[in-house]
Amino acid sequence: MKVLVTGGIGYIGSHTCVELLNQGHEVVIVDNLYNAKIEVLSYIKKITNKEVTFYEVDVCDYDAMKEIFAKESIDSIIHFAGYKAVGESVSKPVEYYTNNIYSTLILTRLMKEYDCKKFVFSSSATVYGDPDVVPIVETAKLGPTTNPYGTSKLMLEKILTDIQAANPDWTIILLRYFNPIGGHSSGLLGEDPKGIPNNLMPYIMKVANKDLACLGVFGDDYNTPDGTGVRDYIHVVDLGVGHVKALENIANDGVHIYNLGTGIGYSVLDVINTFEKVNGVPVPYKIQPRRAGDIAECYADSSKALEDLGWQATKTLEDMCKDAWNYVLSQK
C-alpha cells in the first residue's frame, strides 16, 4: 500500500512511518518542517534501511499537493500535519482553526479527484472535553471542548463524518489518542519541539538536561490523588503501531472511531518521579497556577481497539521515561 503521511517528519508521524515501512508499505511524506527537522528523514531510513519519498510542502498549498497526488498514485492517507499545542491554541485560535481545518479539506478534495478512499485522521482525546466518567469510551459525550485545539479536532471529526456520508465507499478512521511520550529505542527519534515546550515530557527533558532551570507544574489543586493533572501517557511507538493496525485491519467503508491509550491515568508528579527514578536525573519543579484549557483527569478505555484491531499498548511509563531520555542523550 502506498501511504501519504502528512507531518511525517514530526514526532508521531516519524514513528508511524517507521512502523509502516517495517510492515512493507510504501511511504510518501509531506511536511513543511514547521515543527520538525529534516535530519529525521535520514534517521527513518537508517532505522528501517528503506527509502521514503519526501516533499517539503505545506498541506494547505492545494496546487503543490495536487502535483503530488497526480504523481504518486496514493492509496491511503494518514493525516498528522497540524498545530497541536493546547496552551498556544488558546492565544492563537484563528491560526489553529485556519491551518487544521483547511489542510484537511484540501486533502479530502484531492482524495475525491484522485480516487483515494481511505483516510486515517489524527484526532485527540481533547474532543471529549472535561469527561464526566473515566476511563473514557468512544461512545462518551463529546465536548464541550476546553480549547481551540480540541475544538478544531472535534469540528474535523464532524466534517469528515459528513464527507464520508457523501462518499459512502470511503473509509474514514478517527484515532483519538491520548498523551504520546517516549521515543524510538535506537535513540534516533524522539520529541524535540522548537522553542519552549508546551507538553510535559519534552519540558521535563529540557530541565533534566539543564537547558531550563525549573519545570512549571500547572496546578496542584485538581480533584486528583496528588492534586496535579492526570493523563493517559502512551508510548509513541505503541501509537505508531496503532495507526498501522487501523490502516491494515479495517477493510470496510464507513466511519470508524478508536481510542488509543494505555487505560492508566498518571499524574504530572507520577511522571516526574518515574523519570527521576528510571534515569537517575533530578527534575526540579515549581507549582504554578492552572493553565487555561486544561482539565483535571483524562484516560482511555481502549478495549475496542483490542477487539477490532488486535492492538493494545504494551510499553510502561518506565519505558516511556527511559526512551525519552535516551533520545536526549543520543543527541549530545
**Could you list the active site residues?**
149
3-class SS of residue 65: helix
Does 144 sit behind a cis peptide bond, omega within 30 degrees of 0 on the bond before it?
yes
* 132: exposed, middle or buried (Cβ count in 10 Å: 0-12, 13-18, 19+): exposed
Cα separation, 32 vs 291, in Å, equals 29
User: What does 83-150 look like in DSSP terms, one character per residue?
Assistant: ---HHHHHH-HHHHHHHHHHHHHHHHHHHHHTT--EEEEEEEGGGG-S-SSSSBPTTSPP---SSHHH
Cell of 179: 498523551
- List, in order, residues 6 or more apart from 153 with CB less than 8 Å away: 100, 123, 124, 126, 127, 145
Cα separation, 242 vs 177, in Å, equals 10
Whose CA is closest to 128, among 257, 274, 252, 217?
257
Whose CA is closest to 257, among 181, 158, 179?
158
Strands 171-177 and 254-260: parallel
Cα separation, 50 vs 52, in Å, equals 7
